[in-house]
Amino acid sequence: MKKSLLTVLTALSAATAACSGGSSPSPTATRASDLADPLVGGPNSGAARKASIAGLHDFGGESLHDDAGAAGWSLWYQPLNGPERASGYRTDFREATSRGIRVLARVDNSWEKGKGSMPCRAQFDTFAEQVAAYVASTSGVSIWVIGNETNIDDEAYNTWPTCPDASGVMKPERTTPALYAEGFRKIRAAIKRVHPTDQVAIAPVAPYVYSTETGGREHGIDYQARVMAALGEGGFDAIALHAYTASHDTSLVASDEKDPAAPAYARHLRSYRSALDRVPSWARALPVYITESAPWPSSWSAAASEAGGRGRGWAQAATRDVLEWNASGRQRVNALVFYRWKNYDAQSQGIEGLPRVRDDVVSALALGENLPAPPAPSAPLTLGNAGAGSDGISTWVWAQGTGFTPSTALRFGPACEEAQSWSYTTPPGSVELRPGPVMVSIVGSPTSGGIAVMLENRQNVGVRGVDGSTETACRTIRRETW
């Protein structure tokens, strides 16, 4: 079955290339030697691992999941009409899934100049069949992202195809939201025909401002909102997003700074929150996948991440931010994929060549899918009688009250550092405080003013002097650990 489908795929690929006026070598059936990014390290023990929302763009970093004792995500990018066809398409992802790693597959027409992430409109039907043939030939993947950043108007990014117009003149064909939706419908229908239960996600957008088909300016979030409106309820199965910080500074991960060109939307990583606020109510139960996330444009460069730069801990910070969002009960983000594993150019080094970033990603993977449950709130502490005394040899303090638990600490130390009359004769310490009276003995005679005592249960409480007098001027004590 797979061989016949790949034969169809080859023929369809050739037909698509012919439509665009170009030619490319035909793909061959995938062999083990064609898997350019072999899985490395660790046992196939995914079932025993905790799931994680974190993951990597590209294959090759699966050992990081092993190191974290977790099973996150891997994204495979498959352009069907790019030069990658020369070595064959990757179709078997079960080496990853045997570890428990979940696979996202992004399918594009090409990322070569003049071909476009989505093909020419005239090629939509042919491309849809080509995608379906590829999907049917795969094992271990059931989530498909169709296209990538089709809102970008910069020709250098090659997101739009060059197509003949009505007069036969070749020029870029803008992938408008309406045109993307038209192609997506055909592709999704073709996928559902071969894999009815698979998820088909709309393309992520570049979360910045670009030109529109009418000559205006539009943020990518608005572009994607128009795509969703054009497809309508039930017209797609999942939402893909991209989210970055505008530099490698980790402190920007949790920034709510707005985009100066689009003040309604967050400028940095939290653009994913802005995007989810624009999702129509009927689509808010759909899964969400952040398929690219990184400090940008410096990405994981050695200057930012290796030489003591401000990018330390970026992956962990981003993962925590998404986990906090998920814990709020709003539309859940299922995956946060770090872009990217491979070293793909000199400017923006991949994660594979940066040991400290790899460690950061391992720690991010280990954070799992959910924040730890918050501790149960402590019962209010009510201070009743308290006092202190001395027999000239030892000094003691005692307290009574309600709300004491085994975890409530009775702490003593210099409560009022500015009041020289308060002193003590032993190092600061603490004892376990249980319900009922508690007495702490401090060996040695106090000096001029005596000692100060602090009862702490996440609130400020009173202080009593050694002579059992009432509250002193240092009644309110800041919270601190002695």
Q: How high is the pLDDT of residue 154?
A: 75
7: enclosing H helix or E strand: helix 2-19
Which of the following CATH numbers is that of domain 375-482: 1.20.120, 3.10.50, 2.60.40, 3.40.50? 2.60.40
Looking at residue 405, its pLDDT comes to: 42
Domain ranges of the chain: 2-366, 375-482
Assessment of whether the complete model's pTM goes beyond 0.75:
no
Planar angle of CA 104, 110, 111, nearest 5 degrees: 95
Task: Locate all alpha helices (DSSP H) within 195-266, ordered by sequence.
Answer: 220-231
CA-wise closest residue to 293 among 272, 274, 265: 272
178 Cβ contact list (under 8 Å, min separation 6): 226, 230
Q: In Å, what is the CA distance from 391 to each residue of 362, 394, 413?
A: 58, 6, 20
CATH homologous superfamily of 2-366 equals Glycosidases (3.20.20.80)
* Ranges of residues in the chain whose predicted pLDDT is under 70: 1-48, 84, 86-87, 155-156, 298, 302-308, 345-348, 374-482
Q: Are 301 and 247 in contact (CB under 8 A)?
A: no
- Cα–chain center distance at 342: 18
Residues facing 73 on adjacent strands: 55, 102
Give CA angle at 342 (352, 3), nearest 5°: 125
The pLDDT value given to residue 345: 63
Pairing mode of beta strands 429-433, 382-390: unpaired
